[in-house]
Structure 1
């Protein structure tokens, strides 16, 4: 069956899923095979659950009478279907990538644009070669704008995602020391993330630029179509301000205070506000959206517990985001304990970068430094060091942290949020 023929089935479907547990009536199920399991074995069950079509790459399970259809690659067919669907869409699509802050920025942009439009956007962390096609295929006729997050940990990945999503607008949050192992160092990060710029320039599409970021400014100097913020002569000029732990922005004598902590979130707010203004959202509505957005996804999330302020930032960590988090946390009033976990995917730079962060933490003078993970444990000779979150929780069961403020910051693989219940 061709993509064009299958598209007629897709148009009748409720949704496309790769998770057999989430199949509902009129869904399409893509049965991916892995090293240890072939989801094609669930094809008949998926039909019984109400799927109107199942795509398998194991010919043994093909059954055209039940619309269980064989293809040579479920991934390739999913991507080709997404591309075909994208070509039928006549709405602006915003592509978003960056080393830090892209998920928060995506959610802020969605919150702002939703004040005026029906917006579809990347759910959770569906930002890779499978997640981006799934997001595109979730765009329905009622959606007027889409925001597509693009994640990458090696060269040419953003290029691929751009070929699938074909963004009309794009924004790179920043260039940081993330996924150094896959990208081949910081210069590799810049090249990899800039693949979004390359696509937008070649296709004569529009880029949003933070002109206070020297890399963004330099990379987009010769762009014909761009929206800018960050300088007094940019298209939109915002000034930062803060109150207690929270960051906000000023625009034309209007103040907006968010529920986000950290100066590093200022540019995320600016990006969302800039897209809102560009797409004709009134600033009153932008202000309402930014002020009401509440992080709940372990990113710059503030939790009050037993008269203590906990900052939960455990979804991701790299040297750039760790540096920013520590500098932000030291400004909190009262005593401060940091619980920091290993930063993953740093390759040959790992030891040096962990040493740099530990030295910074010691220089900033926190009341207590606790580290979790093998990398930090091997270099942390002066403070409490645990190999795993499980070891930390055993310690916390018998030792109460006395500080007024506690920061949790680590890469996702450390699962540091599990320790919160023991504070």
Structure 2
């Protein structure tokens, strides 16, 4: 890309304030945190419900960015950069992408549907790449922002595009249609995702079909509602399992041990197709690919040979613990230029060590010459302050000299053979390679070895839930996020890194050692210690943590140490007891508190806080209002007496939703970040964060009268197929969840727990489930949810989450 500022001005109809309209830009950015921003970037200052990128423009100018698309020019920034002023920066980003898209005239495949878009996109990329130079959406970039960013990556060497589009409500698809303008449309399926954004299923289908309004063909599973809403003039190419008038009629489906065989008719002829999957979703996605290949007029032999090579698509960037105190970012299944940029930004948001290493394979399908491609990769490496590059592949080895501190190998096997001679310790390592390089073998070498039970943490879901609650806040209200108890069992440092990347105002921990661990991990966001012990005050001061002070004894102890260390205005947080009766200054101690702090220079009251006892129970609404009123009274007394204006906060997760008028200056987000709400109506708007997974260790069949587990608490009434799972109460699974009370999910089916939960194992009934040893098992996540488990056990979701043992490996992914 190289586009003159003056041409962009005309495209956007922007008001221009600057001095260099003849300058050109070569990339687009929307993330002020990205280290890839440069003087040749065009930064679109997007405005969200609780975030305005205009506030970061001054810092971006200092970092060297010169070109901005804005709604307004921030004060003090006039005459310091090129500004293109528009009414709406998101609309402008889409207009710019549509303008850029119109420079190219090759086939574009557009995908929409409730599920399967990314899988079909990646499979089509694999199936068609021998014959086309393809540009496609990186990862799942299918939103109002993701679509234009994907399209802007097109270059002159590409001759086929594959872009996906996702929507959550009406009036969205028409905008992204102008950006993608697909010539070939694929409707993967229609399901319940985002149903809340539409009045009816028909409205949802009608809206999604707008993507294909000018497409030359629409590929879809035959469906009465879809047929009804497709324009009569549109060319359709349909498939079906049960309607013989579909273009492709799949009249027989056989599920084998490790594959599926399909018999189908097309244009009056019968064919058979074997694919390496058994599940229904993969079969449907494969059929969408089949129809696309048929539309491109591939012969049956080519279709069969390529589709036999289809593979599971890994759509996630994973963060794992590595050997020698390393952190591993696993992106070992893709290697293209756009996804490399995304992975490097993710590396920056999740780096746990100053030292950063990238293990990178040859990059394919960039649409650039090798010289230009690896020159760009080298610039990315410099922008992102990468300390070491390990290149694997014939091509990247030829361009080794472009990189500082670089070692290369021709093959993955060469790297593995030399592994013992390489030093990996105390660093964050991004592993990114094309599938053909089998970088999963490198991940296995570098990954810390633990057992097969893992707690997977969805970082996208955390970001989504954070933004959901931020959207409820009034302008300028700050947000503290609680990462105590090891991030509610989900992992402290990794989540803290993400929250720091999102620029939250405060992090909250219970005890000093939790805060020290985060500070040692490189966290710079202010950290409040909510339950400090007096003996921890020296360590709190040493590590620049901020203590909550909740009683006079604690205040006197802290002031004594503060004076010994000759501190000046060290931040403290005053906790008031307004009715919780747990910790905090009572109303009758306020005068002594004020008297003690008056004229005190060693400390500064950074905030005043209290805690609602019944924020989640509207039956006690009046009690909550009494607490809020008392907090107002007590905090105002302190502020007046000391002539200060500190941050004030009383709301927790439930309080944010139930008492919006009591936000004061800050709120404290806790369990809601992790996808749990006490309100069933609100729960549907949150995304599941943690999925606890294990595997089947062994399967056996027992006869009637035989028992399972300690105490013979399960006695078989008939022949029963029993699977043993390597997770037990030492991992945090309550013994109360056994004996038929609870279940796990295997192959999307419930498997009841048989007998007692053991220390390291539990047994389940798989008599009605087709499964084998080594198959994945969901302990909790989407089903069962931690909310359901807590209800059945007579406890709360907090206890279920925080009980998960530290011996269970955490895997973070995006």
Q: By the TM > 0.5 criterion, same fold? A: yes
Kept in 1, the 8 Å contact 2:45–2:54? The answer is yes
State which drifts further: 52-61 or 261-270.
Answer: 52-61
Contact 1:370 1:384 in 2 (8 A): no
Structure 1 stretches of 5 or more lacking a match? 319-328, 340-356, 401-417
Q: Contact conserved, 1:55 with 1:69, CA < 8 A, in 2?
A: yes
One of 31, 56, 60 as aligned partner of 2:70: 56
- CA displacement, residues 292-349 of structure 1 (integer Å, 9 cap, x when unaligned): 43421259x9999989699989789x9xxxxxxxxxx99x98727799xxxxxxxxxx
Task: State how far apart, in whole Å, the 2-side matches of 1:28 and 1:118 are.
Answer: 26
Counterparts of 1:150-165 in structure 2, within 5 Å, are 150-165=165-180
Hey, what's the Cα distance between the residues in 2 that align with 1:68 and 1:19?
17
CA deviations 1:25-72 (Å, max 9, x no partner) are 633221224455543344355456564622222323655663243333
Shift of 1:138: 1.8
For residue 288 of structure 1, the aligned residue among 289, 306, 317 is 306
Tell me if structure 2 keeps the 8 A contact 1:95–1:148. yes
Q: 1:27 to 1:292 in 2, by over 3 A?
A: farther
Unmatched segments (≥5 aa) in structure 2: 1-5, 13-19, 265-269, 318-332, 334-439, 462-683, 685-694, 701-722, 728-744, 754-763, 767-776
Per the alignment, do residues 375 and 362 of structure 1 end up closer, same or farther by CA in structure 2, a change over 3 Å counting? closer
CA contact (8 A) 1:116 1:281 kept: no
- Select which of 280, 305, 328 maps to 1:263: 280
Q: Secondary structure at the match of 1:60?
A: coil
Corresponding residue SS for 1:78: helix
For residue 750 of structure 2, what is the aligned residue in structure 1? Answer: 361
C-alpha distance after superposition, 1:225-282 (max 9, x if no partner): 1223335664445665544455575677665433x56221111111123213322455
- Is the 8 Å Cα contact of residues 10 and 28 (structure 1) preserved in structure 2? no
Contact 1:30–1:54 (Cα < 8 Å) also in 2: yes
Superposition RMSD in Å: 4.9
Match for residue 28 of structure 1? 42
3-state DSSP class of the match of 1:297? coil
Is this contact kept in 1: 2:112–2:188, CA < 8 A? yes
Deviation of the 1:217 alpha carbon: 5.0
Q: Deviations over 1:374-405 (max 9, x none)?
A: 994555565899726x944733557x9xxxxx
**Contact 2:94–2:175 (8 Å) recurs in 1:** no
Q: Does 1:16 align with 2:28?
A: yes
Size of the aligned set, in residue pairs, is: 368
Counterpart secondary structure, 1:291: coil
Look up the SS of the partner of 1:84 in the other structure. helix
* Residue 274 (str. 1) matches residue 291 (str. 2): yes
For residues 89-168 of structure 1, what are the structure 2 equivalents within 5 Å? 89-168=104-183
Of structures 1 and 2, the larger Rg is shown by 2
1:228 paired residue among 238, 243, 255: 238
Q: Distance in 1 between matches of 2:106 and 2:8?
A: 22
What is aligned with 1:387? 797
Query: 1 or 2, which has the higher helix percentage?
Result: 1
Q: CA–CA distance in 1 between the matches of 2:309 and 2:795? A: 38
Partners of 1:372 and 1:387 within 8 A in 2: no
Aligned in 2, Cα 1:338/1:138: closer, same or farther, shift over 3 Å?
farther
- Secondary structure of 2:750 counterpart: helix
Contact 1:15 / 1:28 at 8 angstroms: preserved in 2?
A: yes
Give the TM-score taking structure 2 as reference length: 0.38
- Give the whole-Å Cα distance in 1 for the aligned partners of 2:255 and 2:21: 52
Per-residue CA deviations over 1:67-114 (Å, capped at 9, x if unaligned) read 243333211211111222233331222221111222212222222222
Mark the CA change 1:160 to 1:34 in structure 2 (over 3 Å): closer, same or farther.
Answer: closer
Q: 1:281 to 1:57 in 2, by over 3 A?
A: farther
Task: Check conservation: 2:108, 2:184, Cα contact below 8 A.
Answer: yes
Q: Name the structure 1 match of 2:206.
A: 194
Q: TM-score, length-normalised on structure 1?
A: 0.67
Match of 1:210 among 195, 198, 221: 221
CA distance in 1, matches of 2:61, 2:117: 37
Q: Counterparts of 1:168-183 in structure 2 under 5 Å?
A: 168-183=183-198
| Shift in CA distance, 14/182, structure 1 to aligned 2, threshold 3 Å | same
Residue 43 of structure 2 contacts residue 68 of structure 2 at CA under 8 Å; is this kept in 1? yes
Q: How does 1:56-75 map to 2 (within 5 A)?
A: 56-60=70-74, 63=78, 66-75=81-90
Q: Which stretch shifts more, 56-65 or 368-377? A: 368-377
SS at match of 2:157: coil
Q: Structure 1's 384 and 374: CA in aligned 2 closer, same or farther, altered over 3 A?
A: farther
Are 1:106 and 1:149, in contact at CA under 8 Å, matched by a contact in 2?
yes
Q: Cα distance 1:278–1:192, how it changes in 2: closer, same or farther (>3 A)?
A: same
Q: What SS does the corresponding residue of 1:100 show, helix, strand or coil?
A: coil
Cα displacement (A) at 1:18: 0.8
